[in-house]
Amino acid sequence: MYKTKIDLSEKVRRNVIAVLNDRLAGAIDLQSQVKHAHWNVKGPQFIALHELFDKISDAVLGQIDEIAERVTALGGTAEGTVAVAAKRSKLKNYPLNITSGKDHLDYLSTQLSVYGKAVRAAIDDTAKLGDADTADLFTGISRELDKYLWFLEAHLQDKA
């Protein structure tokens, strides 16, 4: 741990950093899966989905940066390598054989939902630890994930 004048105890910072690094792994995995879908989507909605997946990928990249920078602001090391993310992520491996837009939408919406649930748990966990700023960071991420989940699910919904 690096020294900082942030007025959170070292114990609190260590515990919050652990939560942040776990969510960082999930975000890195999610972003790579969204980009995979962006590259490989096929079908009549190709361009709309290709562009949507790219927007989601960019948004998650921004979240990755925010999470990693919060880790370092708290005096920790952002553990953001692909190898670490692969070990820690709780997301399922993305199927490499799907190409249809509907299949990508279905799979990505599930993955976004799983990651969103983990982020909401991180809001509660970091608030209980006494770090309102990190809880707020996760609240913003959660709100953005929910928006993109809505965008994905809207493509799958044609009747109530």
**Measured distance CA(42)–CA(154) in Å, rounded:** 18
Using the predicted structure, report yes or no on whether residue 154 has a pLDDT greater than 70: yes
- Report how many domains make up the chain: 1
pLDDT at 160: 61
Give the three-class secondary structure for 105: helix
Instruction: Provide the pLDDT confidence category of residue 40 given band limits of 50, 70 and 90.
Output: very high
Kindly report, residue by residue over 66-100, the tens digit of the pLDDT: 999 999 999 999 999 999 999 999 999 999 999 99
**Residue 3 forms part of a structural domain:** no
Give the range of the structural domain holding residue 27, as residue numbers without chain letter: 10-155
Which residues have a Cβ under 8 Å from the Cβ of 112 and sit 6 or more positions away? 30, 56, 145, 148, 149, 152
Q: Say which CATH number the domain at 83 has.
A: 1.20.1260.10
